[in-house]
Structure 1
């Protein structure tokens, strides 16, 4: 399948998910919206869940490149701002919330959620590899934990609490994760 047509199918899938939720997502609706026959979709993706899984991982709508600012702190702040943009700006925000809701209510989509986050983490891992080479990160530091703490903070603040993120949120979240929140010790 041509990449452009594949992206059109993915965009139609995610748009329908955002508008109607997982229950309202149909292969027929995606086919109509993307201008292809439903048999074409079924040839590539055997089910609605498989189509959604591919769309979540491969659609341009949710694409986010790992930043490379030259420093771990800068990369993590850019990453937090990118996650915040995905969760606060339509259509990505609507897709993310609908996908999360679908994964919670439909166990067959749990693997889709794992695949999505595994793909994102694989892309972000290079941030930590570069930081280790530059001597900015301990060898025993857990990149996934750092990513989860920062990404989780954005999800909780924006999606679950419905609070806005102010201008300094990314820097403060990264500072807290990298430096902690205990007061600085004065020299003895």
Structure 2
């Protein structure tokens, strides 16, 4: 399948799940919106769960490249800022919250694939920081990412509060510098 047509299918999938939820998502709806025959979709993805799982990882609208600012602090601030945009700025926020929320409620989607794919890329930030001598090799990169990205998820999605422009720097400082009195 041509990459452009594949992206059209992924976009249609994500938009439909954002508009109608996972239960309202159908392969027929994706076929209609993307202008592809549903048998073509089924040839590549055997179910709507498989299609949505692939779209979460491969769609351009949720695309992710790890930042490389030259410093661990800069990379982490850029990473948190990217998560903030993903979860608060339409259209990505509508799509991400609906699709990833569906993945939590429907294990057949294997939403973990989205997070595994992102973490494989995020890990580069920590590997570079270790090579530069900014970070001990014993630090658990997943814990750091969970603390930082989790803070954005809790603030923006679960609490429904605004995430200020300075939030990324504050969250990274809390993790890297600690929150104690000294």
Indicate the TM-score class for this superposition, using the shorter chain for normalisation: over 0.9
Larger Cα-atom Rg: 1
What is the distance in 2 between the residues matched to 1:116 and 1:130? Answer: 23
Normalising by structure 1, we get a TM-score of 0.95
SS where residue 156 of structure 1 aligns? helix
Q: Which residue of 2 aligns with 1:8?
A: 8
Q: Which residue of 2 aligns with 1:75?
A: 75
Question: Aligned match of 1:133 in 127, 131, 134?
Answer: 131
What residue is the counterpart of 1:174 in the other structure?
Answer: 172
Instruction: Flag as ranges the 4+ runs of structure 1 deviating above 3 A.
Output: none
Partner of 2:58: 58
The reply on whether 1:42 has 2:47 as its aligned counterpart is no
TM-score (norm 2): 0.98
Q: Does structure 2 conserve the Cα–Cα contact (< 8 Å) formed by 1:80 and 1:170?
A: yes
| Count of matched residue pairs | 182
Aligned to 2:160: 162
CA deviations on 1:36-81 (whole Å, 9 max, x unpaired) are: 1000000000000000000000000101210000000000000000
CA–CA separation in structure 2 for the residues paired with 1:36 and 1:99: 21
Q: C-alpha displacement at 1:108, in angstroms?
A: 1.5
Partner of residue 106, structure 1: 106
Structure 1 residues 15-34: aligned runs within 5 Å? 15-34=15-34
CA distance in 2, matches of 1:104, 1:89: 21
Are the aligned partners of 1:18 and 1:91 in contact in 2 as well (CA < 8 Å)?
no
Aligned-pair CA distance for 1:3: 0.3
- For structure 1, list consecutive stretches of 5 or more residues without a partner in the other structure: none
- Secondary structure at the counterpart of residue 113 of structure 2: helix
Q: After TM superposition, give the deviation of residue 168 of structure 1 in Å.
A: 1.2
Q: How far apart, CA to CA, are the structure 1 residues paired with 2:57 and 2:145?
A: 18
Structure 2 equivalent of residue 124 of structure 1? 122
